[in-house]
């Protein structure tokens, strides 16, 4: 006998199947990796793996943190790693979170208050939008990277104003005009919340991200760094003033009511940044791989303008995107389609991620296959 809730759930799933937007967990793909966010190859680095294991051996033998940071889950080692992160990110303090999603949720849901206004880029990550939705503040999106639209909306805003942007956008791979946004924020006394997820590790000294690379760390109020992409491990942190970190410890529900990261995960973050400090040439190597791809792909009219490791080929329509992906998969390239509702209808695409471990021959071969299939 089917329960009423199961009947409703099945109907909702069938709606997705009819619209051809059904999601399912993919099988492991053995093709050449052009889909993961492992830009620097840290997630598969044996050297980093052994460094983490060695670090763990020097720490007390614990499998889990056993509770939230405010109860039994805190440790002097976690605080040491947070101090290291604050130094790298050139901030007064840093606070570790279990994921970039929970960090974004914590910041957006707890800081803006009723009567305030959140203005977020229309292409901002789902976690930023979800955090804004949980806030009691008024929220509006502005057209992607459109400074005129942002200024028009900020002039009509009330209360404290928060501008929410990403350094590199996950679906288009383009940068935000951070210098101009800082000037706009200063004119209108607005605070900036910057998600550095896709620039962490690949930009800035010691992988400190786009904001530090542009020397704007003292002009951006709140920065969120994610470690599950270029850093190849897991977790995230918020960097900013001591007052900001103290506020999050006291008011951010995703921090207060979550079991802390295990010692192994904290050690992984620590070791990943130590490993990067000894291998900063990987940033230059990634830049060379991106340049090679851009030269090889030429001037395809339907590719987005990106200078980052994230490259996209627009192929509107869910069927077109799936078919192009299947052709590439059958040719040995792991390239996935991005479909509605992840992107708007008509903006379906192939999302291509470049890595330091992709050989020049692999990149050239992928470019040739893309030109042929597009």
Query: Catalytic residue numbers?
Result: 37, 125, 166, 170, 195, 198, 229
Cβ atoms of 200 and 225 within 8 Å: the answer is yes
- What is the biggest distance separating any 2 CA atoms in the chain, rounded to whole angstroms? 63
Measure the CA dihedral 318/323/328/330, to 10°. 140
Given phi > 0 = left and psi -120 to 50 = alpha, else beta, which region is 169?
beta
Mind giving me the DSSP string for 252-283?
-HHHHTSBPPPHHHHHHHHHHHHHHHT-THHH
Q: Return all residues near 208 (Cβ < 8 A) that are at least 6 apart.
A: 88, 89, 90, 217
The DSSP output letter for 144 is T
C-alpha pair distances (Å), 340 with each of 14, 73, 138, 370 = 16, 39, 26, 21
How far lies 147's CA from each of 163, 187, 206, in Å? 11, 13, 30
What is the C-alpha to C-alpha distance for residues 207 and 282, in angstroms, rounded to an integer?
10
Q: Which of 251, 262, 225 is nearest to 74 (CA)?
A: 262
């Amino acid at each position: 006998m089917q329960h009423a809730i199961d009947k409703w759930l099945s109907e909702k799933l069938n709606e997705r199947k009819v619209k051809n937007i059904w999601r399912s967990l993919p099988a492991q793909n053995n093709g050449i990796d052009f889909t993961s966010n492992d830009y620097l190859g840290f997630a598969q680095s044996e050297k980093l793996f052994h460094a983490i294991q060695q670090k763990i051996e020097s720490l007390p033998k614990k499998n889990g943190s056993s509770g939230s940071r405010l109860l039994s889950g805190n440790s002097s080692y976690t605080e040491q790693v947070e101090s290291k992160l604050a130094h790298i990110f050139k901030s007064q303090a840093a606070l570790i979170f279990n994921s970039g999603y929970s960090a974004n949720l914590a910041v957006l849901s707890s800081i803006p208050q009723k009567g305030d206004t959140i203005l977020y880029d229309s292409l901002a990550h789902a976690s930023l939008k979800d955090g804004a939705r949980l806030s009691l503040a008024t929220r509006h999106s502005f057209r992607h990277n459109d400074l005129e639209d942002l200024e028009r909306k900020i002039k009509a805003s009330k209360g404290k104003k928060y501008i929410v942007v990403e350094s590199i956008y996950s679906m288009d791979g383009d940068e935000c005009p951070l210098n101009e946004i800082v000037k706009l924020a200063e004119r209108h006394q607005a605070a900036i919340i910057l998600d550095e997820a896709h620039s962490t590790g690949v930009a800035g000294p010691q992988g400190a991200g786009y904001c530090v690379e542009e020397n704007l760390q003292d002009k951006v109020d709140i920065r969120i760094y994610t470690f599950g992409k270029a850093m190849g491990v897991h977790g995230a942190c918020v960097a900013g003033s001591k007052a900001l970190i103290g506020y999050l410890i006291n008011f951010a529900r995703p921090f207060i009511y979550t079991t802390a990261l295990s010692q192994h995960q904290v050690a992984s973050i620590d070791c990943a940044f130590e490993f990067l400090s000894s291998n900063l040439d990987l940033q230059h190597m990634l830049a060379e791989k991106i340049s090679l791809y851009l030269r090889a792909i030429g001037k395809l009219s339907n590719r987005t303008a990106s200078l980052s490791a994230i490259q996209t080929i627009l192929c509107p329509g869910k069927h077109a995107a799936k078919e192009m992906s299947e052709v590439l998969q059958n040719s040995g390239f792991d390239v996935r389609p991005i479909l509605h509702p992840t992107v708007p209808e008509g903006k379906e695409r192939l999302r291509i991620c470049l890595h330091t471990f992709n050989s020049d021959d692999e990149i050239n071969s992928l470019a040739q296959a893309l030109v042929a299939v597009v």
